Amino acid sequence: MAQVRLEHLRKTYGKVTAIDDVSLTVEDGEFLVLLGPSGCGKTTVLRAVAGLEELDRGGITIGGRDVTGLPPGRRRIAMVFQSYAVFPHLRVYDNIVFGLRMARVPGDEQRRRAQDAAGLLQIQDLLDRYPAQLSGGQRQRVAVARAIVMRPDVLLMDEPLSNLDALLRLHMRTELKRIHRELGVTTIYVTHDQVEALSLGQRIAVMYGGRIVQHDTPSRVYDAPANRLVGAFMGNPPMNFLEGRARAAGGRAALVVSGRSLELPDRAAAWLAAHAADPVLAGIRPEHIAVSLREEPGTLAAVVVAVEPLGAQSLLTAAVGEQALKVSVSVDFHADPGQPVWVRVDGSRVRLMDARTGDAIPV
């Protein structure tokens, strides 16, 4: 177990920049999720930590050891691949002890550690089988067992759940969380699934275009996204963005949207007063909006576009002027398209952003 430090990593393929400039510290025992859309460079970062990619620039230390020039096998890492990469010509047991054999661990210790790992993953009954005789979920468990049996300083996982069906994915997610709790191994986990990131990560590093745009706890990443992209990426339905003009008078702040004013917390007043001419985006989570069929003071006027029942709740799409708004509403809520409604936004939960750059406003 160890702290992992990435310093100014850069990796290009010809003219394509996979990693622009990434610095990141993963604390000892921490579960860090690298989150981002496909092509953002998250897998390249993970492979660089594993030693499977050579960097153009930058350094990697694991537990204080500089591993930048070391081959994968000497970094004391273990990796779970997206395709599981379980060796098809070896039985499950031989798969699990493969790394131990390479490290010349004595036979009885191999057996003991393999049994422990198999127990943790609940695959003791499968040790004599070949991978072809296993289901996808079981192969996944073999891949994890093969990794943790190495007792690595860092456990690397590259979208390990993306090839499983939805139900199994949910189950394995819980399992991975349990395994991390029991072993306490430093883990770097790559995913494009924001739900996985929120549920597994102790901290999340959100990547875009080869850079880390936000590195924070899941609740901070969700509630206070660093920019518009992060806000739009996290959450389902994603964050809403309403553009308006700032108005700050007498120490009170508000945003004028389609002629109506949206009250903002007072702490925003100073910044807004200084940038009164700039267009501002209000990032609003769907759950922080209340919808009423009657006009009430302090609400924004909107028109229903669609109501989509989603089971536990319904998704209301409304138009505030020209701007669309997605709101989670109770399944009991009924409205017809074209019907006027009034939406109340919880001003204290609004995340303000500069409409031109998309970056969050520091208030």
Partner 1 sequence: MTLRRLLVYSTAVVIAAWVVFPLLLITLAAFTPREALYAWPRAIWPARFTLRTLGTFLQSADVVQSTWNSLAVAGMTIGLAFLISAPAAYALARYRFRGREAVQFLVLATKMFPAAILAVPLAVAFIRWGLYDTLVGVALVHTALAVPFVMTMVTGIFLAVSYELEEAAMTLGTNRLGAVVRITLPMALPGLAAAGIFTFITSWNEVFAASILTVDHRTLPALILNAVIGSGGGAPLDFRFAGGFFMIVPALVIMLLIRRYLLTLWGVALR
Residue 83 makes contact with partner 1 by CB under 8 A: yes
Give whichever of 111 and 275 is closer to partner 1, judged by the CB atom.
Answer: 111
Distance separating alpha carbons of residues 286 and 184, to the nearest angstrom: 35
Give the nearest distance from C-beta 141 to partner 1 in angstroms: 15
Using CB under 8 A, which residues numbered 288 to 327 contact partner 1? none
**Contact residue for partner 1 among 16, 38, 89, 250 (CB under 8 A):** 89
Residue 22 makes contact with partner 1 by CB under 8 A: no
Instruction: Give DSSP secondary structure letters for 165-186.
Output: -HHHHHHHHHHHHHHHHHH--E
Give the nearest distance from C-beta 201 to partner 1 in angstroms: 22
Give the nearest distance from C-beta 107 to partner 1 in angstroms: 16
Residue 286 makes contact with partner 1 by CB under 8 A: no
Distance separating alpha carbons of residues 70 and 307, to the nearest angstrom: 56
Give the nearest distance from C-beta 33 to partner 1 in angstroms: 20
Residue 81 makes contact with partner 1 by CB under 8 A: yes
Give the nearest distance from C-beta 64 to partner 1 in angstroms: 21
Using CB under 8 A, which residues numbered 143 to 182 contact partner 1? 146, 150, 156
Distance separating alpha carbons of residues 193 and 232, to the nearest angstrom: 13
**Contact residue for partner 1 among 22, 32, 79, 350 (CB under 8 A):** 79
Q: List, in order, residues 6 or more apart from 310 with CB less than 8 Å away.
A: none
Phi, psi torsion values for 352, nearest 5 degrees:
-90, 140
**Contact residue for partner 1 among 8, 37, 56, 102 (CB under 8 A):** 102
Candidates 39, 51, 41; CA nearest to 10 is 41
Measured between alpha carbons, how far is residue 306 from residues 240, 292, 324, 354 in Å? 16, 15, 11, 29
Residue 50 makes contact with partner 1 by CB under 8 A: yes
Coil, strand or helix at 145: helix
Q: How many CB atoms lie within 10 A of CB 186?
A: 25
Q: List, in order, residues 6 or more apart from 208 with CB less than 8 Å away.
A: 36, 37, 40, 229, 230
**Contact residue for partner 1 among 6, 19, 62, 78 (CB under 8 A):** 78
Number of residues that bind partner 1 (CB under 8 A): 23
**What residues line the site for partner 1 (CB under 8 A)?**
50-52, 71-74, 77-79, 81, 83, 85, 87-89, 98-99, 102-103, 146, 150, 156
